[in-house]
Homo-oligomer: A and B are copies of this chain.
Amino acid sequence: MTMKTLLMLLALLCVSSFATGQDALPSWNDRASKHAIVDFVERVTTEGSADYVAPGARIATFDNDGCLWAEQPVYFQLIFAVDRIKAMAPDNPGWMTTEPYKSVLAGDMESLAKQGHKAIGEIIAATHAGMTTDEFDSVVRDWLTTARHPSTGKRYTDMVYKPMLELLDFLRGNGFQTFIVSGGGIDFLRVFAEEVYGIPPHQVVGSSMKTGYEVRNGMPTLVKQVELNFIDDKEGKPVGIHQHIGRRPVFAAGNSDGDFQMLEYVTAGDGPRFGLLVHHTDDEREWAYDRDSHVGQLNRGLDEAEQLGWVVVDMAQDWATIFP
């Protein structure tokens, strides 16, 4: 082999490894949604381009339930709360005869649902307050390790969407900072967001109860209180983004009308913007639901996405793989 042949071979190797390296989204089929993402990232990262965005301003926000992990048959955090009610019942004998606990303990989710938001709020308060943040953290961590999804039998943290994990990595690899902006509980999300999504605690925005600071037996302690602090949903999402991130993201992904205002706020900014809606269309590999769903309802988003220039990802068509 001459030196020239060797160099050519090396050059070819480099090119091919570059081409392989470029497909940072292998779980995305070669369709319009993938092209739109890759094109957007290329435009905002090309120095000198009119659409160039400085690294510090490359902020991307992601909803969690139904966008990064599944949300059927109900939000996983509600399953956690129900499991906690069952685990705590022996210490709370009155619950056997008191609503909404009675329905939860009887496994009658239909009756719980009929009791409305107030009942669910009570269940959340009973399972998410009155303990230290460290205690809550460890309870959630244990649950995530042991609990299994009722129909798939998987761990909840294995029910994350592989294409979205790739998207998070792809954005970070291109200088983006990725945030979760979820209606779910901020303290709940932070237990697994770093390990599962590569998103550190300070880049998680979510709903919360108030927290109190006290020195207990000489130990400084943070205690989760019953009083609601913030609901990070709908109009709350742009507010939560302002409060925690302090600047308008250039990229936002969601899947329900709870994300409408986040995408609206993000994509109304000047310069290049990207709005993405995950549309649950795959009844075989995941679930199919939108306009009439009791979780992740998507109505306005489907009606207005095209006009607003948002990319609607068709899970069945656009994703080669769903779960890792």
Contacts and interface: CB of A to CB of B under 8 A. Distances in A.
A202 B235 CA distance: 20
A202 B200 contact: no
Contact of A202 (B202, B215, B219): B202
Contact of A246 (B179, B202, B246): B202
Given A220-B264, A264-B220, A203 B202 contact: yes
A245 B205 CA distance: 10
A238 B179 CA distance: 22
A271 to B, nearest CB: 15
A324 interface: no
Interface of A: 56, 59, 133, 177, 179, 186-187, 190, 194, 200-204, 208, 211-215, 219-220, 222, 229, 235-236, 238-239, 242-247, 261, 264-265, 268
A261 B200 contact: no
Given A211-B242, A212-B235, A213-B239, 6 more contacts: A187-B246, A213-B238, A220-B238, A220-B265, A222-B242, A222-B265
Given A212-B239, A246-B186, A268 B204 contact: no
B238 A201 contact: no
Nearest to A219: B268
Contacts of A186: 243, 246
A247 B222 CA distance: 11
21 contacts: A56-B194, A56-B200, A59-B202, A179-B202, A186-B243, A187-B246, A190-B246, A200-B246, A201-B245, A202-B244, A202-B245, A202-B247, A208-B243, A213-B235, A214-B235, A220-B238, A220-B264, A222-B238, A222-B239, A222-B242, A222-B265
